[in-house]
Amino acid sequence: MRPENLNLDWARGQLEDCRLCPRQCRVNRLQNETGWCKAAANVTCFMEYVGYGEEPELTPSHTLFLTHCSMDCIWCQTADEQATSPHVRLTPQSLQRIVARGISEGARNLNLLGGEPVVNLPGLLLLFAELDELPPIVWNSNSYCCADALEVLDGLVSVYAMDLKTSSSECAAKLTKTPDYPEVAKARLVELYHRCPERILLRHLVLPGHFACCTRPSLEWIAAALPGVRVSLQDYVVMPRARPDASLGHFLSAEEFARAKGLAGELGIPLVERLPGQATAPAMAVQQQLDLGKPINGEKTIDIELILSPEGKLFLRHPNRPAAALAADIVNPQPGTGGVL
């Protein structure tokens, strides 16, 4: 798709006076001022690869992890990488190369995530204006942004992979440092629903110990306010920062996840599956396991993690093609490939 009708005046205006999210920092990012999220005017990324861990309809998906975020979630799965990886500035030329490589590796889309892509939206629009061609765009967002940030994406985005993290302001304040998250996210989701319900893929992370305060009210709201929208329930992986937390220091039990799925079913919410055992990568030769990490900009390899929860659930972080194939083999071992670890 050729990027057209990009609102570059809006993009430059936001860089001069940033109101992209409800924090309304109103900093001039073109003058090197930074607000709450610390994002600069340029777009920088800290990781990218063609991944096999998204929902089947998106996979393989060229995930481009952009730096900085408008929230601060205790369970963030990329905070460590973002803190320790080089932040590489994207130019039209480097983005064109990255996009071309993703397409050559079979990616069905360019998946913009982070961090949070909205804090990079003005810079992204300015970059896109320099490109001849873009693959279908997946906007992978926390839903915490201002209304016009989503409006300028009209016609550019194929799939809005949006979060509804919680319906509880108390939990949002404590766990994400964003007390107004529920009202803001719901307002954006309703606006998006009125424009393009078929393009929304709504994600809800099921947190251990947060069924009554977060999951139940979120699912009930989705069923009432966004009927027919597809929902992807996500299993919870304990990240180092969450370990001291009384409930989030533990993996989600199978019962808790089943309870969330059961409620979604009772409410008539269409669910989209996203499980490591459903990795869609074709089987690969065992020796390719030695090349699981793919160089990024010649400087770093991806750290792919296989995490086994105490209950025996297998999680795969950053599943590129060979890693996803390996996980699929572990979950559904083929003759001669069992016990490869």
Give the interface with ligand SF4 as residue ranges (CB under 6 A).
Answer: 18-21, 23-25, 27, 35-37, 39, 70, 119
Residue entry with tokens 């073109």: 30
The residue at minimum Cβ distance from ligand SF4 is 35
Please, which residue, 149 or 237, has the CB nearer to ligand SF4? Answer: 149
Report which of 129, 136, 109 is spatially closest to residue 4, judged by C-alpha positions: 129
Neighbours of 242 (CB within 10 A): 20
Rounded least distance, CB 87 to ligand SF4, Å:
16
Residue 318 φ/ψ region, left for φ over 0, alpha for ψ in the -120 to 50 degree band, beta for the rest: left
Please, which residue, 37 or 201, has the CB nearer to ligand SF4? Answer: 37
* Residues forming a β-bridge with 112: 64, 139
- Look at the alpha carbons of 222, 120, 65, 63 in this order and tell me if their dihedral is positive or negative: positive
Please, which residue, 20 or 164, has the CB nearer to ligand SF4? Answer: 20
Q: Which residues of 42-76 are buried (b: 16+ CB within 10 A; e: fewer)?
A: bbbbbbbbbbbbbbeebbbbbbbbbbbbbbebbbb
Rounded distance between C-alpha atoms, residue 337 and residue 326, angstroms:
9
Rounded least distance, CB 25 to ligand SF4, Å:
3
Write phi, then psi, for 139 (nearest 5 degrees).
Answer: -100, 105
Runs of H (alpha helix) within 196-337: 216-225, 254-266, 321-331
Please, which residue, 35 or 102, has the CB nearer to ligand SF4? Answer: 35
Structure tokens at 301: 């390899």
On the CB side of 213, CA atoms within 13 Å amount to 13
Rounded least distance, CB 149 to ligand SF4, Å:
9
Write phi, then psi, for 289 (nearest 5 degrees).
Answer: -60, -25
DSSP string, 43-81: -EEEEEEEES-S-TTT-SEEEEEES--S---TT-SSHHH
Please, which residue, 18 or 292, has the CB nearer to ligand SF4? Answer: 18
Please, which residue, 36 or 49, has the CB nearer to ligand SF4? Answer: 36
From the centroid of its chain, how far is CA 182?
18
Please, which residue, 14 or 234, has the CB nearer to ligand SF4? Answer: 14
Please, which residue, 50 or 124, has the CB nearer to ligand SF4? Answer: 124
